[in-house]
Amino acid sequence: MPHIVLDVSRLLACGSKAAPSGIDRVEMAYARHWADAPEGSCTFVAQAMLGDYVALPFRAVLGLIASLTEAWAQGDPTGAQARRARRLAVALRWRVMAGMGQRELARRLRQPGPKTFLLVSHRALERERPIQAMREAGCSFVPLIHDLIPATHPEYARPGQSERHLRRIRTTAALSDAIVVNSAHTEAALHPHLRARGTPPEVLVAPLGIDPLPAPTMALPAEPFFVVLGTIEPRKNHLLLLHLWRDLAAQMGGKVPHLVIVGRRGWENENVIDILERCDALRGVVREVGQVPDREVWELLRGARALLFPSFAEGYGLPLAESLALGVPAICSDLPALREVGGAVPDYLDPLDGLAWRKAILDYAATDSAARRAQLGRLSGWTAPRWETHFEMVDDMLARLAHQPFRATVRAPVLGRLRGLVRSGGAAT
């Protein structure tokens, strides 16, 4: 296996988060995987203000991983582990801002043997120069691409995000020695961008895993309810559900099932927020709980009649995997990425077909729902994706890559400080 250089810059920004995002979970899973490896086999790095990467103290990163894991599990932002995670994250960020660790990274990259730089969060992937500098220092480069949604569906992205994501993909196409993707759907979207290379890099489709789920402990509402899980943004299609629930509330009164909205408020969501805050018909029927700890999310899912997932576009679909792993049915959009996760288990619907969603929700709300019972029967044959399987595939690919000739191709003159440090033996601390 090569020596792994893993960018954990995103984790350093997670110290104050009560709950992780999907990409946070992935970077944490990678950090845990290599935290369990012998200390000398991995170097954790983060990106300094000027773009150069610096080495982080291995044991300090282990402490951050442990504290964040426990804090997210407890869901208490004032608890001891949450406070410790914040202190460690702040201390590590100060080291990075000061450029400390450049000399140590240069020393490690001068050691003999193959080395691989992993960037699994999209963070600063549009910055070509620091990545090229790492390659010139002897590291092959392997990014993980989560999706191409900002490029393929710019109408759902924040202003400027489409071009920024295209720059990330251009960097990936130009400099990667291999690529990890989370689904065959993401691979298909990425493929046209790799055609310019005479010999495209290997693309590994490795589905993301989910963490072990604890036993239930929380009392749940008695009335039938559904859960929608995800950031409140246009592509998640909350508007479909809110309009549907407003009509159901007008027609059914107190007999309407409830809807629980889990997730932080994102961008371009003014219409959704207006309905949530000003629609009297939804008061007491639709409840927005925001971004809550994992344990609370899992408890809500366990009690739900189904997860509702009406997105217009997805790269993978971790909420679907978590729901099915908990034994909870799902009604979701008919998207290739979601079919990869759910297989034949969920009921798939067109995200624009409001009548079909209405019919399915009313069916699933009934205690004698035939459709829900049928899905529970299909669910018995579904297997949850595991991180162990993901990393077996990634480790095999990295081992193959380590045995291939490495060429630090230079597309343009790059005078990165890291390259100078590697050649000179280091001049900074």
> What would the pLDDT profile of 345-368 be if each residue is shown by its tens digit?
999 999 999 999 999 999 999 999
Please state, for a pLDDT cut of 70, what percent of the chain lies above it.
92
pLDDT at position 27, please? 96
Say which amino acid occupies 214.
P
Q: What is the C-alpha to C-alpha distance for residues 340 and 147, in angstroms, rounded to an integer?
A: 14
pLDDT at position 395, please? 96
The model's pLDDT over 176-220, given as tens digits with 9 standing for 90+, comes to: 999 999 999 999 999 999 988 888 899 999 999 988 776 655 545
Residue 413 pLDDT class (50, 70, 90 cuts): very low
pLDDT at 409 over 90: no
Higher pLDDT, 37 or 62: 62
What is the DSSP-derived secondary structure letter of residue 20? -
- What lies within 8 Å, CB to CB, of 102 at 6+ separation is 48, 52, 54, 55, 417, 418, 421, 426, 428, 429
How confident is the model over 244-264, as a mean pLDDT? 92
Q: Which of 91-95, 111-115, 292-296, 301-305 has the lowest mean pLDDT?
A: 292-296
Residue 149 pLDDT class (50, 70, 90 cuts): very high
Higher pLDDT, 295 or 249: 249
Burial tier of 405 (Cβ tally within 10 Å: 0-12, 13-18, 19+): exposed
Across the chain, mean pLDDT equals: 88
Domains of the chain (ranges; CATH) run: 3-209+387-424 (3.40.50), 225-379 (3.40.50.2000)
pLDDT at 414 over 80: no
Q: What is the C-alpha to C-alpha distance for residues 165 and 313, in angstroms, rounded to an integer?
A: 16
Give me the DSSP letters along 132-144: HHHHHTTEEEEEE
Q: Which of 14-23, 371-380, 408-417 has the lowest mean pLDDT?
A: 408-417
Residue 30 pLDDT class (50, 70, 90 cuts): very high
pLDDT at 380 over 70: yes
* Termini Cα distance of the chain: 28
pLDDT at position 427, please? 34
pLDDT at position 221, please? 54
How confident is the model over 264-293, as a mean pLDDT? 88
pLDDT at 331 over 70: yes
* Residue ranges with strand state E in 17-104: 42-47, 53-55
Q: What is the C-alpha to C-alpha distance for residues 69 and 19, in angstroms, rounded to an integer?
A: 10
* Residue ranges with strand state E in 165-321: 178-181, 202-205, 225-229, 258-262, 286-290, 307-309
pTM, entire model? 0.89
pLDDT at position 222, please? 59
What is the DSSP-derived secondary structure letter of residue 53? E
pLDDT at 88 over 60: yes
Using CA atoms, how far residue 158 sits from 18, 149, 153, 168, 268, in Å, is 24, 11, 11, 16, 7
Per DSSP bridges, beta strands 139-145 and 115-119 are parallel
- What lies within 8 Å, CB to CB, of 237 at 6+ separation is 310, 311, 312, 333, 351
How confident is the model over 325-351, as a mean pLDDT? 96
Residue 369 pLDDT class (50, 70, 90 cuts): very high
pLDDT at position 408, please? 67
pLDDT at position 215, please? 60
Say which amino acid occupies 184.
A
pLDDT at 95 over 50: yes
pLDDT at 140 over 80: yes
